[in-house]
Amino acid sequence: MAGKIKTNGDLGNHSIENRLIATRGKVNGKDVLTNDCVFNFMQNNAVEGLTFHILKTNKHHLPI
């Protein structure tokens, strides 16, 4: 699960899958998904790869 800090400061869950299919806005009335946005950025800027850093935390503690 990916973390999301709520407006009251609590840490909530938001799956990686949900983040990838989340909309980043609309173009010509169609949603632009995160994975499409990242793919197009990589194509347009000749990015060959990405590195992800995953931090494991307890349910109610943020990484320091």
CA 24 – CA 38 distance, rounded (Å): 10
Whole-prediction pTM value? 0.51
How much is the average pLDDT of 2-27?
A: 72
Strand (E) or helix (H) holding 52: none
- Three-state DSSP at 49 gives coil
Per-residue confidence (pLDDT) for residue 1, from 0 to 100: 45
- CB 21: neighbour CB atoms within 10 A? 12
Average confidence score pLDDT of the chain: 78
Q: How confident is the model at residue 49 (pLDDT cuts 50, 70, 90)?
A: very high
How much is the average pLDDT of 24-31?
A: 86
Q: How confident is the model at residue 47 (pLDDT cuts 50, 70, 90)?
A: very high
CA 64 – CA 10 distance, rounded (Å): 16
CA separation, residue 2 to residues 9, 12, 18, 44 (Å): 15, 9, 9, 27
